[in-house]
Amino acid sequence: MISTDVKTWGVTKKGEQVYCYTLKNEFLEVNVLNYGGVIQKIMMPDKNGKWENIVLGFDDIKGYEERSPHFGAIVGRTAGRIKKGELTINGTLYKLEVNNCGNNLHGYPEFYGQKIWDCNLKEEGEKAILTLKRTSPHLEAGYPGKIDFEIKYILEKNTLTLEYEGIPDRDTYMSLTNHTYFNLSGDYKKDIGNQKITLFSDEYLEVDEETLPVKISKTDGTVFDLRNGRYFDEVFKSDESQVKIVNQGIDHPFVLSHKERFDALCVDEESGRAVEMTTDQPAVVIYTGNWLDEVGTISGNVICKNHFGFCLETQDYPDVLNFIPEKGKIYNSNEKYNQKTTFIFKSFVK
Residues catalogued as catalytic: 179, 313
Could you tell me the sign of the dihedral formed by the alpha carbons of 211, 216, 217, 222, in that order?
positive
Cβ partners under 8 Å of residue 176, min gap 6? 74, 75, 76, 77, 78, 79, 112, 149, 151, 164, 166, 315, 337, 339
Report the C-alpha gap between 32 and 73 in whole angstroms.
Answer: 9
Bond into 227 cis (ω within 30)? no
Cα Rg, the chain, nearest whole Å: 19
Helix (H) or strand (E) holding 241, with range, is: helix 241-244
Q: What are the backbone dihedrals phi and psi of residue 323, each rounded to the nearest 5 degrees, phi first?
A: -80, -50
Report the C-alpha gap between 238 and 283 in whole angstroms.
Answer: 23
If 0-12 CB within 10 Å is exposed, 13-18 middle and 19+ buried, where does residue 67 land? middle
Report CA dihedral (256, 259, 265, 269) to the nearest 10 degrees: -140
CB 65 within 8 A of CB 114: yes
Report the C-alpha gap between 252 and 293 in whole angstroms.
Answer: 20
Report the C-alpha gap between 339 and 163 in whole angstroms.
Answer: 6
